[in-house]
Amino acid sequence: MELVIDRLSKQYKNKIAVDRVSLTMHPGVIGLLGENGAGKTTLMRMLCGVLRPTSGVVTFDGADVSTEEYRKNLGYLPQDFGYYPEFSGMEFLMYLSVLKGMDKRAARRRSQELIELVGLKEKAKKKIKTYSGGMKQRLGIAQALLNRPKLLILDEPTAGLDPKERVRFRELIAALGKKNIVLLSTHIVSDVEKIADRILLMRCGKIIFDGPCLDIGEQLEDFYLEKFEEEDR
């Protein structure tokens, strides 16, 4: 299982949002850290086929990002997750399951499984408009897992989660990362520090650090600040 990013760039008029990024990823949790405006979301949107790159190539096990083969292996939680407020959580997951080509029985079974996994069983029949921010985020995580993706891309997934929900989320992601590629973008260093096998630091559209979390040998937050200070010199 391999995600290959080859010289990927995105330019908007005079601004280069992502600048010739090349990476290869294998199963595990990869934490992508960077300040707001570093290019994290632009990179992730290109990896999901939502945004067309200016140049460069993205493949998963040889399949290009534009193909159905790539998409069927992909789970994505965008930063601004859209939902239907009049649907219940269960109805929403069922609806998305059918859109992904599941038959109704399989869709119901998978939706129930995920509702329980993210701790929304008691709220499954309530309308999404009554959900708290954290509950909506948990529903977003559930929809990203519907098709049992081998490649899971999560953009600021812990936004709106309380401390207890954060712990549950980290445990879930750590388990998923044992057999799948999980790319997790956040500016909350502690969320990455506890579960990431590999750390990527992004600044001004470029990857300025790429290495195993264990190699850092200090508090990740201190390392993160040091790297950005070095770049400023």
- Domain match, 178 and 223 both: yes
In a domain, 100, yes or no: yes
In a domain, 157, yes or no: yes
Q: How far apart are CA 111 and CA 90, in angstroms?
A: 7
The CATH code of the domain that includes 56 is 3.40.50.300
Q: How far apart are CA 233 and CA 225, in angstroms?
A: 13
| All residues at 6 or more sequence positions from 183 whose CB lies less than 8 Å from its CB, including other chains | 3, 25, 30, 32, 44, 47, 151, 152, 153, 154
Domain count, the chain: 2
- Partnered with residue 102 across adjacent β-strands are none
In a domain, 60, yes or no: yes
Q: Please compute the mean of the pLDDT values over residues 172-197 and round it to a whole number.
A: 85
Q: Are 149 and 73 contacting, i.e. CB atoms less than 8 angstroms apart?
A: yes
Helix (DSSP H) and strand (DSSP E) numbers for the chain? 8, 10
Percent of the chain with pLDDT over 90: 44
In this predicted structure, the answer to whether residue 25 has a pLDDT above a threshold of 80 is: yes
* pLDDT tier at 111, thresholds 50, 70, 90: very high
- Domain match, 35 and 138 both: no
In a domain, 78, yes or no: no
pLDDT at residue 207, rounded to an integer: 93
Percent of the chain with pLDDT over 70: 91
| Residue 67: domain span | 3-73+149-232
In this predicted structure, the answer to whether residue 177 has a pLDDT above a threshold of 70 is: yes
